[in-house]
Amino acid sequence: MASASSPVISPGAWLGLLGGGQLGRMFTMAAQSMGYQVCVLDPSRNAPAGMVANRQICADYADRGALEELASLCRGVTTEFENVPADALAWLAARCRVSPDAHAVSIAQDRMAEKAFMRDRCGLQTAPYAEIRTAQDIDAAEDTLFTGVLKVARLGYDGKGQRTVANRREAAQAFAAMRSVPCVLEKHLALEREISVVVARRDKSDVATFPTAENQHANGILDLSIAPARVSSDLAQRARGAALRIAGELDYLGVLCVEFFVLAGDILLVNEIAPRPHNSGHYTINACVTSQFEQQARILAGLPLGSVEQHTPAVMINILGDVLQREPDWERLLSRPRVKLHLYGKTEARQGRKMGHITCLGRSVDEALETAQAIRAELTAAAPVTAA
């Protein structure tokens, strides 16, 4: 694992990446711009990261032959999504440097393990919840958990694998519809806002948090991120402190995102963690001295972190497949000189699929937000009604 005492992997060497999505694509670009060669392991052809990587191994993450090939080529391997089998990471770790490690990834993969870890190990509050393994667990759940959100413990993302349930009957129906896989039943909370913090940690003496982002979701998918978050400095500090605590308790090496819920009265709850760069940290590419992806590459290579200083207020909006059903007026959109376009090279613009993002920079957060809202309105107006 990378630490201050691990030898530096010099530019020119190969770095490996499990997963070929957009997070991997932006990691690949950042690593390449520092002179590294990147090999992506992903089962699908035309993977966004595979397209830009120096090489792609097209195979399953559990394929031993493919892992062997990756380990023999690369001095270090990282991941861009949390659902890679933790034992693939453990297997690789016996052969080359791996960050983050299998332990941290396995906690983030399971909402039950994650919530218990936050509460018991980190002393942090989460939303009230119950573990649901059987239909009887729903009968036994506290009344106060309703209205609740039933979430599959593993493999959920972008609001998939979760359902709002008003009572036990609806919870039982939802649980059956989810094929009775292990779930958590969380109390549905009146959120004042959602915020997140991205941590970069090379070792315990080289660790930094990016400025807190404020996140707005639509249909369970991140729609817009405002950085810095419009919250008190006390709340932002508490969020950064909690994120550092989690990274420290995990002895985490790499880039980690912590999502929080904020309730009235600035009550801060941990929602979930992601053991990788995060959608709410995309603003760092254009608004910070060092992006979250460059930090991931630096940590893997055993190099010091870059500055996380934010030099410009920013608002990021996601571009989903919905708005690309029709070609946006790119010229008009980019006629604003502080707008930065990032598209991930995905050919099929499915509804709800993340196709790219736009970062709007401004002299103030308000100015950036105004630009973002104008662009959002333009994109939505251009999209056909059927795609809404």
Q: Which two tokens stand for residue 257?
A: 């995102």
Stretch that binds ligand ADP, among 14-22, 135-143, 183-191, 200-208 (CB under 6 A): 183-191
Choosing from 130, 135, 191, 343, the residue that interacts with ligand ADP (CB under 6 A) is 191
Minimum gap (Å) between residue 376 Cβ and ligand ADP: 18
Minimum gap (Å) between residue 275 Cβ and Mg ion: 13
| Residue placing its CB nearer to ligand ADP in the complex, 157 or 330 | 157
Minimum gap (Å) between residue 31 Cβ and ligand ADP: 26
Q: Which two tokens stand for residue 333?
A: 């959109």
Region of 18 (left: φ > 0; alpha: ψ -120 to 50; beta: rest) is beta
Stretch that binds ligand ADP, among 41-49, 112-120, 186-194, 298-306 (CB under 6 A): 186-194
Q: Please name which of 15, 70, 14 lies closest in space to residue 42, comparing C-alpha atoms.
A: 70
Q: How far is CA 172 from CA 10, 98, 139, 143, 333, in A?
A: 54, 41, 9, 14, 47
| Residue placing its CB nearer to ligand ADP in the complex, 58 or 189 | 189
CB 209 within 8 A of CB 240: yes
Minimum gap (Å) between residue 274 Cβ and ligand ADP: 8
Residues 115-174 that bind ligand ADP (CB under 6 A): 127, 149, 151, 156-159
| Residue placing its CB nearer to ligand ADP in the complex, 137 or 158 | 158
Residues 232-271 that bind Mg ion (CB under 5 A): 259
| Residue placing its CB nearer to ligand ADP in the complex, 95 or 188 | 188
Minimum gap (Å) between residue 148 Cβ and ligand ADP: 7
The DSSP bridge pattern shows strands 148-152 and 162-165 to be antiparallel
CA–CA separation, 178 vs 268, rounded Å?
A: 30
By the rule CB under 6 A, 214 interacts with ligand ADP: no
Long-range contacts from 134-138, C-beta under 8 angstroms, 24+ separation: 134/180, 135/172, 135/175, 135/176, 135/180, 137/185, 138/168, 138/171, 138/172, 138/175, 138/185
Give the binding-site size for Mg ion (rule: CB under 5 A).
1
By the rule CB under 6 A, 330 interacts with ligand ADP: no
Residues 256-275 that bind ligand ADP (CB under 6 A): 259, 271-272
By the rule CB under 6 A, 217 interacts with ligand ADP: yes
Stretch that binds ligand ADP, among 29-37, 69-77, 185-193, 377-385 (CB under 6 A): 185-193
First to last CA, the chain: 45
220, interface contact from Mg ion, ligand ADP, none, CB < 5-8 Å by kind: ligand ADP
Give the binding-site size for ligand ADP (rule: CB under 6 A).
18
**Under the rule (CB under 6 A), what is the footprint of ligand ADP?**
127, 149, 151, 156-159, 186-189, 191, 194, 217, 220, 259, 271-272
**Under the rule (CB under 5 A), what is the footprint of Mg ion?**
259
